[in-house]
Amino acid sequence: MTYKNSRIFAETLDQDDPLGAYREKFHYPKNKNDNDLIYFSGNSLGLQPKSVRTFVENELDVWEKKGLLGQHSRWKNFHERLLENTARMVGGDSSEVVVMNALTVNIHFLLISFYQPTETRKKIMIENGAFPSDQYAIKSQIEFHGLSPLDTLIELTPREGESILRTEDIILAIKDANQELATVMFGNPNYYTGQVFDMQAITNAGHDVGAFVGFDLAHGTGNLLMNLHDWDVDFAAWCSYKYLCAGPGAPGGIFIHKRHHDWTNHRFAGWWGQNKETRFNMGPDFDPIKTAEGWQVSNAPVMGMAPLLAAMDIFDEVGMNAIRKKSEKLTGFLEYLVIKILPEVTIITPENSTERGCQLSLVVPGGKKIFDDLSNRGVVCDWRNPDVIRVAPHPLFNRYTEVYDFVIMLKKILAE
């Protein structure tokens, strides 16, 4: 698309936006003068759908009027209401997904199964600069097996002078590790740079050397088009409070490819993973469900899932194809304006739209001070050390005029 550097052009894009009306389905934060903030932090915490209150109050009403009877009539299988729409979101079969726990808890549960080092195959590969929680989880899993991250963890870095990893370098590193490699796990997109990795190519390369391959999709779910089943990904985990707009502390989700559902190796077991036909027999022997649900350990956090149900209704109504189409256009407009108006600002996120989601990571002269000035003027984005301002316009509630106003505001701040 050919963009123009004018607010009138941005207004025209908003007028023609087929998703423009969806902003009204969300509560939009305001400043002390009751004016809308510019909210570009859907990559940290999505805005609240207006329908959330009704969804939560429905469950409160059941609890109030039925007590324990609500568990048997409604909540026992509550998580099943999220299987079909979650599967569509990540490109899997409904048997391959389940919503449960929180993100890092799920990563630990998955790694207990999909990182099983041996004397000869014990290495695990991540991208350098992975989200700290991923690093902590992986290093602690290595140490749990009595190993040292110093000679077990492979962290891939970009070439000298570059900000992002090249796919060919990732593939080469996997081939070099060969039979020593047990597991590959990348955050996708990378939380800092916004780079989207080629999941299918990485998965194929990992499988070629006999390794399991999984992804932390905290910044991918609700942001990217995905096809985890057909890409043959072994496992994945994500949260739902970012792009999915399910609220702070909302439960996460997992994907486990169906070829692993008859799993006989290690896992941490709990009674909600038990065969549903015998779960309430309260027997001593674990007979796991032959789906991703077999990795559950506890019953559903109903009050956390209710907001997610509200949000997923919106995503189902719009569809990820339409969301992704606007995302590319919206972020493309932001990129165009930054390049056109702010030559002193460096974008470290890939230029190719297939290698990024909503987020652009900006290196701005003045760094943290500039970020603080933006915050004081009503822009909600975020700062990540050492030098990046992350800006993520969400296609369901952000406008093209906000993108334009943000860039003009940043220009003024830099000129002061």
- The token pair that represents 137 in the structure block: 């989880």
State the average pLDDT for the chain: 96
Among 104-118, 195-209, 270-284, the range scoring the smallest mean pLDDT is 270-284
Predicted TM-score of the model (pTM): 0.96
* pLDDT recorded at residue 410: 97
Per-residue pLDDT at 33: 86
pLDDT tens per residue across span 11-39: 999 999 999 999 999 999 998 888 899 99
Question: Residue 184: its pLDDT value, please?
Answer: 98
* pLDDT category of residue 83 using cuts at 50, 70 and 90: very high
CA atoms within 13 A on the CB side of 49: 23
Strands 382-384 and 379-380: unpaired
For the beta carbon of residue 29, count every other beta carbon within 10 angstroms. Answer: 14
Query: What is the tens place of the pLDDT at every residue in 85-114?
Result: 999 999 999 999 999 999 999 999 999 999
Query: Which has the closest alpha carbon to 350: 161, 187, 188, 196?
Result: 196
Omega before 386 within 30 of 0, i.e. cis = yes
Sorted by where each begins, the domain ranges of the chain are 7-43+320-415, 55-316
At residue 116, does pLDDT exceed 90?
Answer: yes
Question: Average pLDDT, stretch 205-214?
Answer: 98
Q: Which CATH class is domain 55-316?
A: alpha beta
At 54, the pLDDT band (50, 70, 90 cuts) reads very high
**Proportion of the chain above pLDDT 90, given as a percent:** 96
How much is the pLDDT for 32? 84
148-157: pLDDT as tens digits: 999 999 999 9
Q: Give the mean model confidence (pLDDT) for residues 345-363.
A: 97
Q: Do residues 355 and 392 make contact, with C-beta atoms less than 8 angstroms apart?
A: no
Reference 314, options 327, 323, 302; nearest CA is: 323
Our CA angle for 361, 362, 368, nearest 5°, is: 115
Instruction: Name the pLDDT band for 73 (thresholds 50, 70, 90).
Output: confident
pLDDT digits (tens, 9 = 90+) for 221-233: 999 999 999 999 9
Band the pLDDT of 76: cuts 50, 70, 90: very high
Fold for the domain defined by 7-43+320-415: Aspartate Aminotransferase, domain 1 (3.90.1150)
How far, in Å, CA of 344 to CA of 26, rounded?
Answer: 34
pLDDT band, very low/low/confident/very high, at 1 (cuts 50, 70, 90): confident
